[in-house]
Structure 1
Amino acid sequence: MTETEKSQSLLAPLGVPVFRRIWLASLLSNFGILIQGVGAAWSMSRLTDDITMVALVQTALMFPLMLIALPAGAISDMFDRRLVCIGALVVALVGAVGLCAVTAMGLLTPPILLAFCFVVGSGMALFGPAWQASVSEQVPPEALPSAVALAGMSYNVARSFGPAIGGVIVASVGAIGAFAVNAVFYLPMLAVLLLWKRRHEPPRLSPETFWRAMVSGIRFIRYSPSHRIFILRTVVFGLVGGVIPALMPLIARELLSGGAPVYGVLLGAFGLGALLGAVLLPWIRARFSTEIWSRLVAMIVGAMIICVAFSRSEAVTLAALLVAGAAWTSILTLFTISIQVGAPRWVAGRALSIFQATIAGGVALGAWGWGELADQIGVKETLAVAGALMIGSTLVGFVLRLPEMAVAGANEPANREDHTVLLDLTLRSGPIVITVDYDVPLANARAFYEAMQRVRRSRQASGAYGWSLSRDIADPTLWTERFHSPTWNDYLHLSHRVVGAGVDLQDQSRSLLDPTSMPRVRRMLERPAGSVRWKDETPDRGVDIGPSASAGAP
């Protein structure tokens, strides 16, 4: 095996001590949250006969993943991800310990149980983006895809065996035992994060405001065609594939005439398949492109759903769910890898959080829709329709073809000439208007225009607003690019985000310019009517604030 093959093998990241310790600790925390879920559901069933309240336990644990995903991603990008993880775990630990305490004192009621489950779920929702985005800081770049797969694999391992372990604990010592195990299982993760000597990189700039950080994350997805395609394909897959978790209890009860034990076995088969899919991922990545494998998965999962619809044999249904679980996990893990390796570090947490919210939202909405349809036409017929739609979803690939994502550049700004600022600015000064004049030979006009459309998407994904390109009617060789940033701080962030592919796109467009001239950049503080209220004695200060306030060319 070559060194490259070793670095790309599934277990290679476990050779990195810090990743190995954090991964093992995350495995325990995943077991803990699933064990608590069993205890919480059991407690609720003892506290009330309302089926809706029992179902709300899982909602309380999982809904925060969708509700606070984007804010959690923004926080992970704005602050030290290690500290964000520690803070998130403290929140979850407080919820777990509080749940133990009220249970021990006999004060547990349905609303209190749901409230503490929501606190625990919120802590884990805040933890997820920061932990996943920090994986790139723990392993070398060539091992990142395998590390991302292992991060997902830890949850699949816990999902395969955690509920069964939780059932044994609840049967042996009661629900309080499950709550206590969850609280204890957070401690190893807290310990390894406290001991992690993360390399501190002093921030070059003041952080974005919280609201602006969330907007920047949404704009990045909106104006990054590759990431947008992955998000849209995830929505389609989640909406249709949501039929499996939605109807699993009904498959056990109505199609197989079984009870809770059969339901548990079906969940275990799907979870074991998910684990198998993660193990096979390196083999899959070596042989298939993401698009081809996505189409194969759609056909495989669709066929397995149809098989489940018409099967009355427990063995056949288990085998179908095993295969479906493997295919399901393999493609979602491939999507996660693509999102993570393709997102620049400045927005990695937000990109991952939006992706996770898309999965959760797509599956939740799909589950609701399939449940409603099953009430109207029956479980077997609903599964058959879902299977056919899943197979038909392969056609989406002809319209939204998945790209192969390259590793994004580091957060190093383009090495271009800095410009001194001679106007007294604060970080809140704005809007800042940027214009760039280009001299383009007539023969290159069309190629330049097409190249600048790619630059446009890069600018907008990095935070530029109001982008436009104009051509001088008196001098057809003169082209002017214009965009603005809301504040000076926003512009400084934008200029530091021109990395990797963004620099390449700019270089491609500038290779089409008149070789005897250079782009002429102007940065202006926009002054709309009424925005300046000078008193007669107020001077117009033009102050040289030095190189520390300068920014590279856009």
Structure 2
Amino acid sequence: MGTGEAENGAGPGPPGTPDQGRPGSLWAPLRRRLFRALWIAQLVANTGTWMQIVGAQWLMGDLGGGAFSIALVQTATTLPVFLLVVPAGALGDILDRRHLLLVSQVITFTGAAALAALTATGVTTQALLLGLSALMAVGQAFSTPAFQAIQPELVGREEIPQAALLNGANGNLARAVGPALGGVLIALSGPAATFALNAASFLGVIAVLFAWRRPPDHRPLGAEYIHDAIRAGARYVRSAPSFGAVLACTVTFAFFASGMWALLPALARGPLGLGAGGYGTLLGAVGLGAIAGAFTLPRFGGRLGRNTIVASATVSYAVMMAVIGTAGNLAVVIAALFLSGMTWIAVLSTLGASSLLLLPEWTRARALAYYQLAFMGGQAIGALVWGALAGRAGLAVAFLLPAAVLVLSTPIGLRRVPLPTAHLDMRQARHFPEPPSDLASHEGPVLIVIEWCVPPENAAAFAAAMRPVGQARRRTGATMWGLFRDMEDPNVFVETFTVATAYEHLRQHFERGTIRDRELQDRALALVSPGTRPHVRHLIWSYAALPGPGAEGPELRSIASLLRPR
């Protein structure tokens, strides 16, 4: 398995799409027609969503809810994502992503339309408000990993950081406009109008997705079962330390930073004494700051490393949180919110772009589901914790405590778990030699044994080089991996790993390898004895049920027939 040559997969951009614009230009992705159409449609939908959030939080106050109940609105909009995003990510890798996105948008539209109708008739309760907000979050759970995963299909690889910034600016432009519109609508017509316009805003996204003629996915071995896909995604995340560093930064930032978003409505209604329009102005300041950050970051991103950007922006955000929670002066709070928007987009766009660049196509949606799990879970739990703290100790403490922890923990955390800075080529690469021709006729488990001949002077370096190779085996399907040295012949190293099924091992051969994995393997190959090649053997579990004479079915098809395009 994986000890020979490699065959490069498709290039970084969508097939047939020329690279346009300068790689460093913020606007380059918008020159691509499909990205532009979807970006505009999402801007409208995101604006409607922010109008909805303002309306829901304000309606909760009108229904008699206090600071804790208002914070529960954010929990209702994030907790379903936390619970469902992992299976949703697996579906995003085994189903057509366009179809999945269409279904998710219909679910969200249904929840918004139902909430608008119930609120207009005056029958909405706190429970109904939270329940329908959660239903819309279900649609978001199924759409978020797939939306992120299709970005490399819409733009070139070199444009992914710019696309991440533009998508962040999209949401934050909506955050600047939506709350203000929401506040005006609440003052003129009540919260029901915000819910109705939010429902209508999803129609544009549905129209763009419906018109998109996405090429069919090429899965030589067919789609995975959902439970197998979930396990494969979890196994990949456990064995990808670079992606794990991104997740650690994300969950820490989301948990402590969520306090500002969860408690801002209570701050507006309480110490600042603002109405719905004033609350919309506060959120608008954050959105405008995020837009300014999207324009500013490309100028410094090339000179500053990812770790420097995330660390400095996180500390700055924490300082702004402390100012917002204690200032008491509206002008100071608005200025601090503007700066917090700049730092918010700097952190999240850097982490989001890092995630996309670190993931191969075959597992992109399910791994990004863990990114969303970290972000939404941190927000949901953080909102609950800081809302409860505000109810017991007051708003000022609930702003100051997470801000202080962010300032103290950020330098330590990034020193212990730094973000990756090297370029990793995650394009598909097919490894040779071919597996045994009858491997597909068995079920498994499969044991792969590879003998490496290594001169004694290279032994220590070879053992070190094989550790990341072992991680690559696990990422692509291995359940156990080990490296042993022959006690009788010290020149011989034996690598072993097991895979649950023969089909899972075939996916390692034909679907899951990357150029990065090949590079790791080539480092080990450079240390073997001159003129030798690793010897590979495939062993099937001796008690596995073997097909009898004359048996028919897909399990007896040859590998060549399995890989024939369908």
Equivalent residue for 2:420, pick from 403, 412, 436:
403
Alignment partner of 2:458: what SS?
helix
Provide the secondary structure at the position in 2 that maps to 1:480.
Answer: strand
What is the DSSP-based 3-state SS (H/G/I as helix, E as strand, rest coil) of the residue aligned with 1:242? helix
2:80: which partner in 1? 64
Partner of 2:487: 473
Aligned-residue offset at 1:391 = 2.1
Further displaced range: 435-444 or 539-548:
539-548
Q: Are the counterparts in 2 of residues 7 and 142 from structure 1 also a CA contact under 8 Å? A: yes
**Which shows bigger deviation, 258-267 or 275-284?**
258-267
> 1:108 Cα shift?
4.6
Unaligned 5+ segments in structure 2 are 1-18
Equivalent of 2:162, from 143, 146, 167? 146
Equivalent position amino acid for 1:430 in 2 = G
Q: How does 1:422-501 map to 2 (within 5 A)?
A: 422=438, 425=441, 429-495=443-509, 496-501=511-516
Cα distance per residue 1:374-403 (max 9 Å; x no partner): 455544345444333222222222211222
Shift of 1:485: 1.1
* In structure 1, C-alpha distance between the alignment counterparts of 2:212 and 2:142, rounded to whole Å: 19
Residues 165-174 or 499-508, more deviating? 165-174
Deviation at 1:253, TM superposition (A): 5.5
Higher relative contact order (Cα pairs below 8 Å, separated by 6+ residues): 2
C-alpha change, 1:355 and 1:316, in structure 2 (3 Å) is same
Deviation at 1:54, TM superposition (A): 5.4
Q: 1:489 to 1:471 in 2, by over 3 A?
A: same
Equivalent residue of 2:426, what SS? coil
State the shift of 1:483 in Å: 0.8
Q: 3-state DSSP class of the match of 2:496? A: strand
Which amino acid is 1:509 matched to?
Answer: A
**Quick one: structure 1 residues 4 and 400, their matched pair in 2 at CA, closer, same or farther if it must change by over 3 Å?**
farther
Once the two structures are TM-superposed, the CA of residue 202 in structure 1 deviates from its matched residue by: 2.5
Question: What CA distance in whole angstroms lies between the structure 2 residues aligned with 1:258 and 1:102?
Answer: 27
1:506 matched residue in structure 2: 521
Q: Deviations over 1:268-291 (max 9, x none)?
A: 222222222222221231221001
Segment drifting more, 123-132 vs 539-548: 539-548
Partner residue of 1:394?
411
Residue matched to 1:192: 208
Higher mean C-alpha displacement, 474-483 vs 511-520: 511-520
1:548 paired with 2:560, answer yes
Amino acid at match of 1:449: A
Paired positions, count: 540
Alpha-carbon separation, structure 1, partners of 2:278 and 2:187: 18
Match of 2:34 in 1: 18
Q: Write the distance in 1 (CA, Å) between the matches of 2:396 and 2:440.
A: 70
1:341 match: 357
For residues 340-363 of structure 1, give each alpha carbon's deviation from its aligned partner in whole angstroms, at most 9, with x where no partner exists: 111111111122221122112223
Q: Distance in 2 between matches of 1:98 and 1:107?
A: 11
Any idea what the Cα deviations from partners look like across 1:23-69, whole Å, max 9, x if unmatched?
101111112222233444455555x4344665544433332221211
Partner of 2:13: none
Amino acid of the structure 2 residue aligned with 1:397: L
TM-score (norm 1): 0.89
Aligned pairs (5 A) from 1:240-251:
240-251=256-267
**Of 519, 523, 527, which residue of structure 1 is paired with 2:534?**
519
Whether contact under 8 Å (1:344, 1:411) holds in the other structure is: yes
The letter for the 2-side match of 1:308 is I
Q: Is the 8 A contact 2:74 2:383 kept in 1?
A: no
**Superposed displacement of residue 142, structure 1:** 1.4
Distance 1:373 1:286, change over 3 A: same
Using structure 2 for the length normalisation, give the TM-score: 0.87
- Structure 1: where are the runs of 5+ without partners? none
Deviation at 1:468, TM superposition (A): 0.7
Matches within 5 A, 1:126-275: 126-252=142-268, 256=272, 261-275=277-291
Change (3 A) 1:484 1:384: same
CA distance in 1, matches of 2:532, 2:282: 69
Once structures 1 and 2 are overlaid, which stretch shifts more, 151-160 or 443-452? 151-160
What's the counterpart of residue 119 of structure 1? 135
User: Any idea what SS the aligned residue of 2:203 has?
Assistant: helix
**Kept in 1: contact 2:112–2:196 (CA 8 A):** yes
Provide the alpha-carbon RMSD of the alignment.
Answer: 2.8
Q: Which amino acid aligns with 1:401?
A: P
Cα 1:69–1:405 change in 2 (3 A) is farther
Contact between 2:146 and 2:365, CA under 8 Å: does it hold in 1?
A: yes
